[in-house]
Amino acid sequence: MPSAEIVKEEVSQRRGQTVDDIIGRVRNAILAGRIVPGQRLVANDLVEQLGVSRGSIREALQRLSAEGLVDITPNRGAMVRRLSREQVRDLFQIRINLEGLGARLAAEHIHEADHRKQFLAVWNEVKPDGSERAWSLFMQQNRLYHRTIVSIGGNKQLTQLIDNLQLPIVMFQVGQSMQPENSARSHHDHILIAEAILAGDAQGAQTAMENHLKGSADWILQLPNTAFGLSP
């Protein structure tokens, strides 16, 4: 390969690595709640904060838009996606079925390898202890709990499908509306799910997970219009 072509290829690889790094940092900030649904992502600010080119920022935002994390509007720029009531309803219909299957698979495979040890380690970290937890901690632990269940089930395609739903966006969008009774019900549901999985009760685990997510959908979809974005 001619030297000029080698240099061109190396520059392209470095640019790709830079764009991947930007995507990872912005995605992590969104999923951690440091950037919230509806918040604008100003290219000039990102250039200054991350020390990268405007072109890399533009490409990263386009890819985040393709992932469904960011909305790009002509003449208004990019902002973290804010889901409409209809979109949230549709996502939960999918989630109920996918995570119900995930809980069933986790119960079926709990006796294999170190799955029980792995699950208990997470469960002992996140299970309710009667104390009131900050919303950010609740979100972090809730995500860890649900992801661990799906992971134990061993279906990598299912894990990918659930990750692609970008469910943390929904929870950060409506999180400020969550009441203590909602948290209490979530903790109670988590106990039922954990007990079924640890007992190897596949049907019980699936039913408990589906009921849990149906309950979450019910209170979220009853929120006022101000909790949601505009319908596309």
Report pLDDT digits (tens) over 31-62: 667 787 788 888 888 888 888 888 899 899 99
pLDDT-based confidence at residue 64 (cuts at 50, 70, 90):
confident
> What residues contact residue 132 under an 8 Å CB cut-off, 6+ apart?
180
Q: Which domains does the chain have, with CATH numbers?
A: 19-80 (1.10.10.10), 85-228 (1.20.120.530)
Which phi and psi (to 5°) does residue 32 adopt? -90, -5
Q: Report helix, strand or coil for 72.
A: strand
Q: Tell me the per-residue pLDDT of 82-97, one tens digit each, with 9 for 90 and over.
A: 888 998 999 999 999 9
More confident: 57 or 176: 57
Rounded CA Rg of the chain: 20
> What residues contact residue 60 under an 8 Å CB cut-off, 6+ apart?
19, 22, 23, 26
Query: CA-CA distance, 93 to 210, in Å (whole number)?
Result: 10
Query: CA-CA distance, 126 to 145, in Å (whole number)?
Result: 7
pTM of the shown model: 0.78
Which pairs with CB-CB distance under 8 Å and at least 24 residues apart come from 140-143?
140/32, 142/171, 142/186, 143/31, 143/168
Average pLDDT over residues 68-76: 82
Of 101-110, 141-150, 157-166, give the lowest mean pLDDT range. 157-166
Query: CA-CA distance, 210 to 213, in Å (whole number)?
Result: 5
Query: Given this model, what pLDDT does residue 14 score?
Result: 54
Residue 73's region, left for phi above 0, alpha for psi from -120 to 50, else beta, is: beta
Average pLDDT over residues 182-207: 95
Q: Tell me the C-alpha to C-alpha distance, in Å, between residue 13 and each of 6, 18, 20, 215, 218.
A: 11, 9, 11, 47, 47
Query: Given this model, what pLDDT does residue 69 score?
Result: 80
Residue with tokens 């499908």: 161
pLDDT-based confidence at residue 2 (cuts at 50, 70, 90):
very low
